């Protein structure tokens, strides 16, 4: 009887393994290329032709959105700022929110148009606001691509409309999506399924998100869709469940419905097979450095991202540890500067390392500040 039970269990395990392998083999059966990434670590869970250079349609706009988010965070832009649409912007074809030449619209509403309706006219209006012309904005986009170290991406326009020498890859798109997600405010836009523009006017305009999965897939809250004749149906979707965020890139699907279905299957595979073990949060104070003769006596250290490891659902969670290694720190320091690493170890082997950063500026005191300190100490004593 015991032998029969053991044999039965072995058969079930084997059948489960075969089913899992078959499921992985059947993923993205109709797509030209694609990739599934765990967002916090950047680890790739699944890939298909990940470095193939292909047209990516409006997924191009994710790079423009990174630049827009950076400008908002630096204060160079505000959501309430009013942008005037040029003749060039209003004349864009393809997906649009039908801007008129000279029409004024807030940055917030233009971002809604880009993220929800994939609007080319809104994209060009923002490009011209930031860089003066669309071509100058594309230069910024390609500079951002270079900064991210991408080897299979080059842009000719800001919208993703088909043009020669305009391409990216599944791997590069995943890295771009991950970079965009570092600007958490973007999810305030991409997670919305329906909204309105020109609300208090006779031309009230209904927006419905082109990414149907934010409405249909549990945990989905972004990120960008695309379609052109050359690109086919494309999608970058991010979803979060049980503390794990995944990024799915699907390129070159024959139909929108197939794209949505295969993207959902890809995400299902990731959530069903893997989980994230978080060892330390990026919001935790990891350590504190003390300084002499500086504008701050001490400064807290934080992680650039969560200290987490991607493991299979069946994996043992024990045996992981962390170690702090600080650099020889020299002042001045600016918010965001790295001062060391947190090492993640598994059975004493380093498997990952994460920058330790400061979240405030720290400067050396000048002569007069030091002199005042001396006088103060003298008076106190």
**Which sequence positions are flagged as catalytic?**
58, 61, 118
φ/ψ bin of 76: left (φ > 0), alpha (ψ from -120 to 50), beta (otherwise): alpha
Apex 224 CA angle, 226 and 259, nearest 5: 55
Residue 138 near residue 204 (C-beta atoms within 8 A): no
Residue 141 near residue 124 (C-beta atoms within 8 A): no
Under DSSP, the state recorded for 31 is -
State how beta strands 287-290 and 298-303 pair: antiparallel
Chain centroid to Cα 282, Å, comes to 16
Whether the bond between 332 and the residue before it is cis, its omega within 30 degrees of 0, is yes
Please give the Cα distance from 243 to 277 (Å, whole number).
9
DSSP letters, 218-245, are TTEEEEEEEEETTTEEEEEEEEEETTEE
Query: How is residue 285 written in tokens?
Result: 């104070």
Chain centroid to Cα 126, Å, comes to 20
Residue 120 near residue 161 (C-beta atoms within 8 A): yes
From residue 140, alpha-carbon distances to 179, 267, 320, 354 in Å are: 15, 32, 41, 28
């Amino acid at each position: 009887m015991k032998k029969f039970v053991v044999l039965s269990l072995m058969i079930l395990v084997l059948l489960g393994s075969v089913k899992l392998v078959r499921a992985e083999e059947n993923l993205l059966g109709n797509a030209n290329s694609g990739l599934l990434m765990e967002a916090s670590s950047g680890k790739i869970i699944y890939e298909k032709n990940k470095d193939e250079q292909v047209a990516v349609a409006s997924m191009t706009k994710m790079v423009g959105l990174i630049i827009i988010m950076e400008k908002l965070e630096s204060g160079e832009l505000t959501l309430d700022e009013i942008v005037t649409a040029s003749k060039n912007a209003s004349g864009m074809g393809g997906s649009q929110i039908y801007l008129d030449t000279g029409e004024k619209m807030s940055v917030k509403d233009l971002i809604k148009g880009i993220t929800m309706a994939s609007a080319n006219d809104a994209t060009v209006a923002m490009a011209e606001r930031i860089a003066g012309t669309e071509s100058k904005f594309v230069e910024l986009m390609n500079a951002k691509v270079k900064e991210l170290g991408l080897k299979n991406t080059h842009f000719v326009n800001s919208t993703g409309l088909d043009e020669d020498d305009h391409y990216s890859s599944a791997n590069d798109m995943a890295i771009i999506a991950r970079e965009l997600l570092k600007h958490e405010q973007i999810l305030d836009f991409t997670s919305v399924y329906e909204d309105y523009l020109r609300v208090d006017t006779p031309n009230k305009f209904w927006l419905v998100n082109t990414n149907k999965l934010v409405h249909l897939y549990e945990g989905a809250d972004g990120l960008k869709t695309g379609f052109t004749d050359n690109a086919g149906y494309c999608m970058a979707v991010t979803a979060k469940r049980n503390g794990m965020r995944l990024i799915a890139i699907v390129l070159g699907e024959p139909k929108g419905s197939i794209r949505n279905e295969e993207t959902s299957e890809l995400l299902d595979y990731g959530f069903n097979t893997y989980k994230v073990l978080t060892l330390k949060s990026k919001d935790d104070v990891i350590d504190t450095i003390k300084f002499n003769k500086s504008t701050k006596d001490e400064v807290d250290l934080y992680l650039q991202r969560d200290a987490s490891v991607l493991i299979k659902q069946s994996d043992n969670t024990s045996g992981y540890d962390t170690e702090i290694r600080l650099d020889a720190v020299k002042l001045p320091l600016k918010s965001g500067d790295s001062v060391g690493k947190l090492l993640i170890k598994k059975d004493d082997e380093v498997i990952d390392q994460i920058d330790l950063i400061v979240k405030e500026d720290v400067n050396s005191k000048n002569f007069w500040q030091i002199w005042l300190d001396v006088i103060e100490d003298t008076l106190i004593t």
